[in-house]
Amino acid sequence: MYNNISQNIQSHIEKGAEITPFLFLWENSQTVLEFAQNLLNQAEIDMQSLFYLPDDGQSLKISQVKDFFSKSFEKTRFAFQIFCIENADRMTREAANSCLKILEEPGFGNIIFLTNKSESGILDTILSRVQIVRLEYISQANFSQEYYDMIENYLKYQDMKLFSYFFTEKLERKEYGLFLQTLLYYAQKNALYWDFLWDIDQDINGLMQGSFSGKYVVDKYLLIL
């Protein structure tokens, strides 16, 4: 997973493109900090280009957030610099609103990592401006082993059981949802289909809310596979 994100970031840097900020959802934010440090090490950038706001148990106020991102308006000496906020849900509403502009337009060379245990407490306006990386799927293993094996057997051995099963069986909504969760888990665990992670996550939410047909959305990803 992290290797794929690293490649995605490197590709944007080489193209001179802005990088959409990331929201990592997991219990262990320290792992995300270590990932940021590794990114800098690999690019031979010193740790002064890593700006980190650890969770000190207090709410983050607007003045703190503005001060934290002030360096983003200065041209960095290196290819990029990283801004990481631990447990973003501790930002006050005013503080969260104050960083919407930089999340929308981070500027070339600025990489922003937000961490949190879940989407709870994060403004919708922030969620719409970030790439959500759901690491909890890996840690909690919310998936079907049967579907996992079908996906793996097709990708590795061209076993068509995956297609015959979903093209012929009429399943309940929850089964289609479980398949999508398994597909998301498989993609994250094996660092695949980075471009579709957000779409899969959104489709899981839409399916559970009854917004569209489970068979339609599953068939869409089977064709992508």
Which of 108, 139, 170 is a domain's end point?
139
Indicate whether 65 and 35 sit together in one domain.
Answer: yes
CATH number at residue 69: 3.40.50.300
Indicate whether 10 and 114 sit together in one domain.
Answer: yes
Q: Both tokens of residue 72? A: 């983003």
With 60 as the cut, is the pLDDT of residue 35 above it? yes
Range of the domain at 39: 2-139
pLDDT of residue 195: 62
Cα–Cα distances (Å) from 88 to 97, 121, 138, in that order, read: 12, 8, 21
Indicate whether 123 and 86 sit together in one domain.
Answer: yes
pLDDT of residue 203: 82
Indicate whether 158 and 110 sit together in one domain.
Answer: no
Cα–Cα distances (Å) from 70 to 76, 77, 99, 143, 174, in that order, read: 12, 16, 11, 42, 46
pLDDT (tens digit per residue) in 75-103: 888 999 999 999 999 999 999 999 999 99
Which of 78, 104, 139 is a domain's end point?
139
The dihedral formed by the CA atoms of 31, 22, 78 and 61, expressed in degrees to the nearest 10? -90
Buried b (16+ CB within 10 A) or exposed e, 212-222: eebeebbeebb
Indicate whether 129 and 23 sit together in one domain.
Answer: yes
Indicate whether 208 and 150 sit together in one domain.
Answer: yes
With 60 as the cut, is the pLDDT of residue 124 above it? yes
pLDDT (tens digit per residue) in 52-64: 999 999 999 999 9
Q: Please, which residues have CB within 8 angstroms of residue 153's CB and are 6 or more apart in sequence?
A: 159, 161, 162
pLDDT (tens digit per residue) in 147-177: 999 999 999 999 999 999 988 888 888 889 8
Number of domains in the chain: 2
36 close to 51: Cβ distance less than 8 angstroms: no
- What distance in Å separates the CA atoms of residue 166 and residue 186, rounded to the nearest whole number? 17
Q: Please provide residue 21's backbone torsions phi and psi, each rounded to the nearest 5 degrees.
A: -55, 155
Which of 108, 123, 139 is a domain's end point?
139
Beta-strand (E) ranges in the chain? Answer: 22-25, 50-53, 81-85, 110-116, 131-134
Indicate whether 6 and 116 sit together in one domain.
Answer: yes
With 80 as the cut, is the pLDDT of residue 209 above it? no
Give the pLDDT band of residue 137 (cuts 50, 70, 90): low
Q: Which residue has the tokens 């999340």?
A: 103
